[in-house]
Structure 1
Amino acid sequence: MSGKILQVEGVSFSYGPIQALDDVNLHVDQGEIVALLGANGAGKTTMLNNIAGLLQPSSGKISYRDKDITSWEAEKIVHDRLILVPEHRQVFSTMSVLDNLLLGSYHHYKKTGKKEVNKEIDKVFNLFPILEERKEQLAGTLSGGQQQMLAIARAIMAKPDLLLLDEPSLGLAPLIVKEVLDYVQQLRDAFGVTILLIEQNVSASLKIADRGYVMSHGTIVQEGRAKDLLHNPEVKEIFLGHTVS
């Protein structure tokens, strides 16, 4: 690992009178998988949306690769290879799997060229062979797990240096959850991607993460190595509301 790729310093954000983020500080080092944990409504998705430029902090600073991106538009952030996979997958349901993947490369297609983009597609198919089998199928007809794989694969086509994953296992059967999170772990090895992950499956996410942060009511209340958080009774019972096995 070679230093911080993301630094969030004192970030606050409100939805009108509702304080959603309150002086949040966190960082992600190059090459890490970092889990951002907490109960529903803790502020996790709001945090990712601020990092991705979909929302603008009311105060604080967000730095990406030593550049202040606090006020950047989302499109500019995507061009700098910081990519968000939002919750609920949001694939283009009336387009084929292959066309969804090609759209992922949209911002660099002309510069990269068709030949290199096709090589990237082949790498994605190596990681997600089911997508190659279904490449001509309409994305909306895939199973939930396959749509999640497609959403992640489409993001990889954007050649991210930092990938923000918001609830990749949401609504999936337990066996599929494990499969999707296994793929998340493989992304770092296969594509060299650094990952900031929101995941309600606390045990599974901490088992693949290097470090973790726990949010409650818009602020960070615990942080540490993933294996330490996994066995922290406060994390298990107070902040997450249930026991982590």
Structure 2
Amino acid sequence: MLEIIQLPALNDNYIYLVHDPESGDTAAVDPALARPVLDVLEEKGWRLKYILNTHHHGDHVGANLELKKKTGCTIIAGLSDQNRIPGMDIGVNEGDRISLGRHAAEVLFTPGHTRGHIVYYFADNSALFCGDTLFVMGCGRLFEDTAEQMWLSLQKLKALPAATRIYCAHEYTQANARFALSVEPDNRQLAQRMDEVNRLRAQHLPTVPSTIEQELATNPFFRENSPALQKTINMHGAAPVQVFAKIRSLKDHF
């Protein structure tokens, strides 16, 4: 199995180090800062082979050039973002695969937050590194694309196996949960999860990773087909993509 280390950075970012013990290969996902990555590499005696970027925002690519200079790693990102990713070496598209030892990550194209956003899915380890497309009980803001495009992207992630662990790039869970309760106040699983989130954050512990199964039960952006949610936002019987767009608009102004 891959070893995954979660590194907090900046105010609420997470950087992930993904290590294959057999080959010794290591990848850094969305490194905002170099120092936390370099410290772990030195402590563990690991060699950084790849940087895997999900999109071009500075809090996801900020350490690209420094890490490349110090480790000689290869930087991989979405092909359509080739002019926006510092130091990018390899561009990938939907369905491409990236090998980390004998493990492989499938690339899924998930525009919505940005037009070039991609995610990395290690099926054999049930691990999804989803950047800012999907959060625990939330999804990314629509900076460069439409609600319909984000909805279509999220449908891909909803279809992944229920046990898939969601390694998103930000600790936004408490705020997301408060909004989720505002649009689905009678969701008992959501209320229970809010209590658990508050307990974890009171101890300064991460709420990430989540799972697809948990998100299907509690994430409003996965629950556009919920009659109770539709009723709360006065969209009963509306098309799923229209319900999603309304939820996203409400969250933007929450």
TM bin, normalised by shorter chain, reads 0.3 to 0.5
TM-score under structure 2 length normalisation: 0.35
TM-score under structure 1 length normalisation: 0.36
